[in-house]
Structure 1
Amino acid sequence: MIDVCLLNGRAVSLPISEDTRVSEVKVAAQQQFGLPFLRLTKGGRCLAPSSSLRNDEVRPGDTLQAVAEAARLAATQSAFAVFTGGGVATWGDPDEGGDSDFVQGELQGVRLIRGAGGAFAAVCDGKELGAVVAWGDWDAGGDCFWVREQLTDVQDISASKSAFAALRADGTVVTWGDPDAGGDSSGVQSQLRDVQQVCASSRAFAALIEDGSVVTWGDPFCGGIGVDVRDVRHLAASSAAFAAVLGDGSVTTWGDPFSGGAGVDVQEARQVCEVVATDSAFAAILGTGEVLTWGRGSCGGDSSRVQHQLVQVRRVAASYAAFAAVKADGSVVTWGDPNCGGDSSEVEEQLVSVAEVVAAEYAFAALLESGRVVTWGRAHLGGDCSQVQEQLQNVLQIAATSGAFAALRSDGALVTWGSRDYGGDSSAVQGLLQDL
């Protein structure tokens, strides 16, 4: 027998043999404690779920410490990843991040995962703090071999469609992936000091410097052109344009004018708190709770149809060509292309007490405060969750690829729906969740 103890002092005794795997002890402890994900340690050293107790020198009578962990979701265009500090499980298109077998041995102490169009990048604290492991389409950032020695003390990662930019603790930036989509920052590397935020359009990056200036690189037609802006507080991006919130609460934009880069409708905007974007339009939440939109009208840049309803808005989600605003009373207002979720009238009565809304490219999923889920948009691309509706209870988190959704429940169960080609079928990894 061995004892497994939580930090609060609760303990259970479990039978073992020399060949018992750590994952077996972990699953048994999870069942005894009623917790979905645990990380087992001995003397401060994390035990790998795939290892055996014999290899980790765990003997009868020993005591293991168990730390409860929250699982999180990440997504590329057509693949998902669910992860804890103890491991990662992936599914969906194997060529775009759905197959992580090749790097499983390196995914230790995973703190963060970001997805580009066809690849994942994970920040790991296992072998070295802030190290990065990438997988998926090599041409889209799935291989960071050439810059791996520079990828230490990474705090955050941003992604364009086919490149990554890692922000290090010292304020410098390391990039890799498609050089034409921002994967090559050598031309501005000397300027990338004291960086506070990195933001990405589909093929370019913009870095916010501590002094309020901005440095850009990547495709000039997607906003990767030199800009002279000052007193910037926050950055946002559509597919081919950037928007900067300034210190006085106004907004300035640059990039493709047909993707919201012209900014003619926002020059007088004030009290802007947050900006989000569809493919070709922006929506700014003002301090008053109102919403201001600009860019291509058919992609959500024209909100005149629902403008009178856009009051007391607390957050906005964006699909490919539509917006969904969650109001303070928990109701939802949608506009933009109906084929991308811009019309939620069929489920309007169900959209009450909404906590948050998550967007795929052509559909939305609303997480209610009750833990239930309501969807709308293109049915086969995630807009119809009727086949799994009864499983969508006590949901804590939702993530989306281009055409599917994944939901994590409080009991650790994973529920997916939408197109199989975009990760809507997670049956292949259900048995792997116990190893996380």
Structure 2
Amino acid sequence: MSVTLHVSLISGRAASLELRLDASISVLKQRVQSALAVGGGKLLDQRGVVLHGAATIEDSGLREGDALTFHVGQVRISACSAAAAAILEDGSVMSWGDAEFGGDSSAVCSQLQNVVNIQAASDAFAAILADGSVVSWGDEDGGGDCSAVQHQLKNVQKIQASLNAFAAILDDGSVVTWGNPEFGGDSRHVQEQLQNVSQVQANERAFAAIAGDGSVVTWGDVDYGGSTAGSVKIQLKSVQRIQASESAFAAILYDGTVATWGDVWHGGDCSFVQEQLYGVQRIQAGSCAFAAILEDGSVVTWGDMEYGADSSAVQSLLQDVQEIQASHTAFAAILGDRSVVTWGSSDRGGDCSAVQEQLHDVQCIQTTGHAFAALRVDGSVVTWGHAQKGGDSSAAQDQLTKVQQLQASEGAFAAILEDRSVVAWGLADYGGDDSELYDLQDVEQLQACERGFAAVRGDGCIVTWGDPVCGRPE
């Protein structure tokens, strides 16, 4: 027996399809995509419930003449150190990579439905579902097991992660944490202070939250900023937002001043530039240093001098700064005229003199952590920094025209071109070998993880390359 179903897009485009009652929803979706000439998406019934692929049309309760809606959506990918997870068009999740560290989500697969967001720690993932609940998997000691606080994880709005712990903000402004206590997984001692929280920021081993009264609540490793005391605690009033390096925090107050705490050598002490930190608009963090853009377009830096904290050599050039990108040991600033100024470790991107004349009309900059790549308005790309880790793009330069998007792993770059093909360069183990990509076409999205890349094609298929430890999606 067959039924006729009417399927429409939000745009109004529609099609009527006749299928047997024993046909699967997957077959129905394929017919919809073909009839409406669209890629992947979610198929919803008349009540707005997502229809899942394995069920049949009959089992899903569909009847003759039912009106369905097809929501075209994108696959979204999150990555941790050795695994990746993708939210598919129907709200389910596919994961791959090291099974112990998030690559195997089979134990929670049945719970991973209607997923709206995924946050990654170093070795685990946490997914927020449409109903505000949370599902986690991966290394149990690193945040992959939230069973101890599962009953509290309701109406979750956002999740932030340190290396081995998670912190969830609920819709009432409270916070729930889990994972390794040494990395901020236990916030019980400050729980009463975590009220009306608007933002949670994390570095490698600690968290900092802005409470409703503008004060800051911290927990985690004390040496990494998990505690505030003395003059800093007094300063932390009327806080607007917080930025983090690997082991320190910097807060912008509503009056445009800055307060810092944590590892003093890695940006936790800004006392020697405190008098310059007025009218601060934004702060960018490197691994061990900070750079603040002031309202007049100038820049103030502090932290470890070997990691970009010393900008004195280019201070006169740092005018009308629009945005800053940071590698592990260097910074690159885009000015109002779309030129670029760099400082920090010279062989890790802090010296762009060899390509300075090419650095004009720059739209955006990406970094591998050791090299930079600038995308220009005409779609060309300029690179500098550590040659092997992406700073030398000469072998791919002839192909790097009409680039639409740039992504960076820890040791390589990859670009989507106008024809939706992909070019990569840098260390092969980090995704820099594009010899396998000659037939990769119709790429809509590109996502980087620490040691490789994942491309999403127009048909929803995910293609990965880079370190074999990160695996391949099944």
Q: TM-score, normalised by structure 1?
A: 0.85
Q: Alpha-carbon deviation of 1:32?
A: 4.9
1:196-275 pair list within 5 angstroms: 196-227=198-229, 228=233, 229-268=236-275, 269-275=277-283
**Which residue number in structure 2 is paired with residue 333 of structure 1?**
341
Q: Alpha-carbon deviation of 1:19?
A: 4.9
Q: Alpha-carbon deviation of 1:150?
A: 0.9
Equivalent pairs counted in the alignment come to 431
5+ residue gaps in structure 1? none
Gap change, CA 1:265 and 1:191, over 3 Å in 2: same
Distance 1:406 1:82 in 2: 19
Percent sequence identity is 44
Larger RCO: Structure 1 or Structure 2 (Cα < 8 Å, ≥ 6 residues apart)?
1
The alignment partner of 1:326 has SS state of: strand
2:84 corresponds to 1:80: yes
1:368-379 pair list within 5 angstroms: 376-378=384-386
Q: Alpha-carbon deviation of 1:338?
A: 4.1
**Which residue number in structure 2 is paired with residue 41 of structure 1?**
44
Q: Alpha-carbon deviation of 1:315?
A: 2.1
**Which residue number in structure 1 is paired with residue 329 of structure 2?**
321
1:56-75 pair list within 5 angstroms: 56-58=60-62, 61-75=65-79
Say which of 83, 102, 110 aligns to 1:105: 110
Gap change, CA 1:300 and 1:355, over 3 Å in 2: same
Distance 1:116 1:69 in 2: 25
Residue identity opposite 1:110 in structure 2 = V
Residue identity opposite 1:265 in structure 2 = F
2:293 corresponds to 1:285: yes
Deviates further, 319-328 or 204-213: 319-328
Deviates further, 95-104 or 385-394: 385-394
Contact 1:73 1:399 in 2 (8 A): no
**Which residue number in structure 1 is paired with residue 11 of structure 2?**
8
**Which residue number in structure 2 is paired with residue 306 of structure 1?**
314
2:193 corresponds to 1:186: no
Q: What RMSD over aligned residues (CA atoms) do the two structures have, in Å?
A: 3.5
Distance 2:418 2:56 in 1: 28
Residue identity opposite 1:168 in structure 2 = L
Gap change, CA 1:411 and 1:24, over 3 Å in 2: farther
Larger Rg: 2
Q: Alpha-carbon deviation of 1:375?
A: 5.2
Distance 1:343 1:94 in 2: 40
5+ residue gaps in structure 2? 431-449, 464-472
Gap change, CA 1:140 and 1:388, over 3 Å in 2: farther
- Output one character per residue of 1:378-416: Cα deviation in whole Å (capped at 9) or x when no partner: 4655556766995996746x6655445677899998887
The alignment partner of 1:120 has SS state of: strand
Q: Alpha-carbon deviation of 1:191?
A: 1.1
**Which residue number in structure 2 is paired with residue 144 of structure 1?**
146
Say which of 159, 177, 197 aligns to 2:161: 159
Gap change, CA 1:97 and 1:415, over 3 Å in 2: farther
Residue identity opposite 2:329 in structure 1 = A
Residue identity opposite 1:327 in structure 2 = L
Distance 1:345 1:281 in 2: 22
Q: Alpha-carbon deviation of 1:144?
A: 1.3
Residue identity opposite 1:247 in structure 2 = Y
**Which residue number in structure 2 is paired with residue 424 of structure 1?**
452
Distance 2:49 2:214 in 1: 42
Q: TM-score, normalised by structure 2?
A: 0.79
Say which of 101, 126, 142 aligns to 1:96: 101
Distance 1:194 1:263 in 2: 28
1:167-178 pair list within 5 angstroms: 167-178=169-180
Distance 1:239 1:390 in 2: 36
The alignment partner of 1:306 has SS state of: helix
Q: Alpha-carbon deviation of 1:51?
A: 3.8
Q: Alpha-carbon deviation of 1:377?
A: 4.3
